[in-house]
Amino acid sequence: MLELVKSRPHLALLSSNTGQVIPKSERDTILENLASSLSNGLLSKKDFASKNDLHPDSLEALLRVHNEELVELDDHVCNTIYDGRLSKATEALMLGVVCDKT
């Protein structure tokens, strides 16, 4: 079974060393942690995978479920709401810098 999951990572979550299939109860907890982390701001995919003993391909499979709600920035990801807030804050900061120079 492990070989089947390794060849098709979307079927189940694998541990970081790909030696174990993550059980459904643990998967549910990981999904809750992911949703919570995304609602709180910018998430490092590498850090999240490491903290949850999750293989990067398995994390990518989880993120694809929320793909239309996410913005990816290199190794980081955030939801579109946070991205909008970040964009507005950056715009306000830039306008403040431009106004200060005039």
- 31 is written with which tokens? 């999904």
State the pTM of this model: 0.77
Task: Encode pLDDT of 43-97 as tens digits.
Answer: 999 999 999 999 998 999 889 877 778 998 889 999 888 888 888 988 888 887 6
* Residue 85: predicted pLDDT: 87
Task: Locate the domains of the chain by residue range.
Answer: 2-101
Q: Give the model's confidence band at 9: pLDDT under 50 very low, under 70 low, under 90 confident, else very high.
A: low
- 34 is written with which tokens? 């992911």
CB-based contact 62:31 (threshold 8 Å): yes
Find the distance separating the first CA and the last CA of the chain, reported in whole Å.
Answer: 66
* Residue 5: predicted pLDDT: 57
pLDDT (mean) for 15-29: 87
CB-based contact 60:94 (threshold 8 Å): no
Which is more confident, 18 or 16? 16
